Each structure stands twice: as structure tokens, then as C-alpha cells.
Amino acid sequence: MGARWQCEGTGQRAVALVALALESRHGVLAAEIAEFFATAHRLKGDAGRSRAWAGVAEAVRRRTQARLAAPSLSSDSCRG
């Protein structure tokens, strides 16, 4: 019998770590990639994995919004 992927820790920490890894590898495409996997698993009938990937996509979007809302340092603000 082949090894199956086990969804051991689909808690917030696991979702956040996958979101971070996806962002670091794929940048602005991370949310769309996670949505692709969510849809692919949903179409195959795997609701659990689909929900997990949808959670990753949402986590990526929340992180992006938080980054955009945070005050940024511009070159003008660094001048004395």
C-alpha cells in the first residue's frame, strides 16, 4: 500500500507555515496557486484538502493586506 499524505496539523500554525513557504517561492502568485490546489482537490472530491488549501489562500491574502496596510519606510522619511 502506497504512502498517503496525512493532514496531521491543519491548524492555524500549519496553514500559516504553508502560506509563508508559498509566498517565499511564488510571491504575488501565492494566493492564486493555493486557490488552484483548492479547486483541483474539490473537483477530485477531496473536501478536506480543498478546505486546507482555501485556508492557505485566505492566509496569504490576509498577510498581503497586512503588509499593504503597514506604514512603509520611504527614502523621504529617512532624510534628516
Decide if 53 is inside a domain: yes
**Rounded CA separation 20/38 (Å):** 17
Decide if 79 is inside a domain: no
Q: The domain containing residue 33 runs over which residues?
A: 12-67
N-to-C CA span, the chain = 67
pLDDT, mean over the chain: 85
Decide if 47 is inside a domain: yes
**Structurally, how many domains does the chain consist of?**
1
Model pTM? 0.75
pLDDT in tens, 5-64: 445 555 889 999 999 999 999 999 999 999 999 999 999 999 999 999 999 999 999 999
Instruction: Determine contact, residues 12/49, Cβ cutoff 8 Å.
Output: no
Q: How confident is the model at residue 76 (pLDDT cuts 50, 70, 90)?
A: low
Cα-flanking dihedrals φ and ψ of residue 16, to 5°?
A: -65, -40
Residues written for the chain: 80
